[in-house]
Amino acid sequence: MDWQTLFTQNFEKWSASTLPKLNTSSEKLGDVSARLAYTTGGTRLEIKKVLLNRISMSHNSVWLASAYFIPSRKIRKALRKAAINGKDVRLLLPGEITDHPAVRYASRQYYARLLRFGVRIFEYQGRFTHTKMVIIDDWVTIGSSNMDRWNFRWNLEANQEMDNKNTANKARKIINDDFSHCHEIKYIDWINRSRIQRTKEWLWGRLDMFLTKYI
């Protein structure tokens, strides 16, 4: 399944018109092996399945950047397990400047257990970040999908996956530069945060759980 095929399928699903046949693109980007992964509103969860598999097989590092972070229980467990096993597990997430503050508060309900088990969390400062990228050892995925259960449950999302050391190093350099513009949240500081912050996180976290259960 490549980008042209996916676009054609969705165009013809919602349109009375038919697109002309296009030549299919190669599965290689230069000397880089690449493939398209996509998810379609809960009926196809390829992106999530591949992510969980890659995290479980990781050797050295798991870096995940997401504009919105409402992770499933399985993803949270996989991240914690990787960190416990000595992997360099980092999350790059939005700071106070975000287009959905409620989502940020809801996502922060998961910080404590992730931090306690060794996951490092960085919140971007100064401007909004909309980066959606995962780098696991020499494997990279980048595209439209945030790594959260709402994307997987409702949306059509597509990511380009690449398994190549040079590509991974270039992507890691970009994310590493973003880390320099972040505030890293430490576990000791997190457990001593203000009651106001805790209340906001609890309220939006409960709403997230309610919506997840009943919608």
Position 6 in a domain: no
- Residue 165 to residue 212: CA distance in whole angstroms: 38
Question: For residue 148, what are the domain limits?
Answer: 29-214
Please say if the pLDDT value at position 208 is more than 80.
no
Number of domains in the chain: 1
Helix 73-84 with 46-56: angle, nearest 10 deg: 20
**65 falls in which pLDDT band (50, 70, 90)?**
very high
Partners of 37 in the beta sheet? Answer: 159
Q: What is the pLDDT of residue 4?
A: 66
Residue 17 belongs to some domain of the structure: no
129 inside domain = yes
Q: What is the CATH number of the domain that holds 156?
A: 3.30.870.10
Establish if 24 belongs to a structural domain.
Answer: no
- The pLDDT tens digits for 90-103 are 999 999 999 889 98
Residue 205 has pLDDT above 60, yes or no: yes
Residue 107 is which amino acid? S
The answer to whether the CB of 145 falls within 8 A of the CB of 67 is no
* In the block, residue with structure tokens 């509103």: 41
Residue 18 belongs to some domain of the structure: no
Mean pLDDT of the chain: 85
Residue 31 pLDDT exceeds 70: no
